[in-house]
Amino acid sequence: MSNHANPAPPILLTIAGFDPSCGAGVAADLKTFAAHNCYGVAAVTALTVQSTQGVLSVHATPSATLRAQLDALVDDVVIAGVKIGMLTNRGNASAVTEFLDRHKFTHVVLDPVFRPTAGDAELLDTSGLKFVRDELLKRVSVITPNLPEAEFLTGMEVKDLSSMKAAGQKLIEMGARAVVVTGGHLEKPIDVFCVGTEVETFGGDHVKSPNTHGSGCTFSSAILAQLACGQQLREAVILAKAYVTKAIEKSYQIGKGAGPLNQLFRFHQEQPLRGVHEVPQHGMHPASEPATH
């Protein structure tokens, strides 16, 4: 039977690193895309050695290989949007910037990852960070830094709501089209949303869970998925925040450290009670069908 009649959902590209514990990076992005009924493809910027206990080392993809991954994908599928995560170094940041310049995607979300929450490994070198700040920042639809990332990009101290607002406005002045400074590090997880001269705050409840590994990746990917499905940016941010909160609420422990979010919580089904099973849709249980002689 041919399925060619089935239309493809929006195809979203994540450009990020690979986390073997599949809590963050491309794995988190692909799960998030799937949860929003989008199809995800990935260009891998680095192979990391990490678990739920932290990042031990980072092995960057050569920029020529990253370019080849991107070219192969864009040559084959129609990409509705791009999410950019960990880039590792200036060479990869430059390759991604050239890619964006060539193809002019409608939706591009940048999560400016430079340091892991756990572990001492560097996820973006100083030269790469400067390139992101001076060049890549201007080419994306929205950037989603957390407090330490906002500090690094702006050179300002970002510790509370007022400094988050100031950092967001500074990033707009630096060329960003829109900014969400995420406040997951605060006692109350308030996000600051800046577009042009407008500044808005989105409050939320703190979920008491250690399983927040990959929350930044998931948030930025959920924004992209909502944009690709037709939401305006403000609504996409609100819906993405609600989704991340629920994914943390529904999370579970998988290892000895901070567990991942449960991006696929909507697909969870209760197991049927022991001894209860569904009858196949064709009418009869296979065991009761007449045998052919």
Q: Lowest-confidence range among 4-18, 99-113, 120-134, 221-235?
A: 120-134
> Between 279 and 174, where is the model more confident?
174
Q: Lowest-confidence range among 62-76, 116-130, 158-172?
A: 116-130
The pLDDT tens digits for 245-274 are 999 999 999 999 999 999 999 987 666 556
Under DSSP, is residue 2 helix (H, G, I), strand (E, B) or coil? coil
Alpha-carbon distance of 64 to 84, in angstroms, equals: 17
What is the arithmetic mean of pLDDT over 45-69? 96
pLDDT at 281 over 50: no
Under DSSP, is residue 78 helix (H, G, I), strand (E, B) or coil? coil
Which runs of consecutive H residues, i.e. helices, occur in the chain? 25-35, 63-76, 90-103, 126-134, 147-154, 161-173, 215-228, 233-249
Task: State residue 280's pLDDT score.
Answer: 47
pLDDT at 14 over 90: yes
Q: Which fold would CATH assign to domain 11-264?
A: UDP-N-acetylmuramoyl-L-alanine:D-glutamate ligase (3.40.1190)
Alpha-carbon distance of 215 to 219, in angstroms, equals: 6
CA-nearest of 84, 21, 91 to 49 is 21
Q: Where are the domains of the chain?
A: 11-264
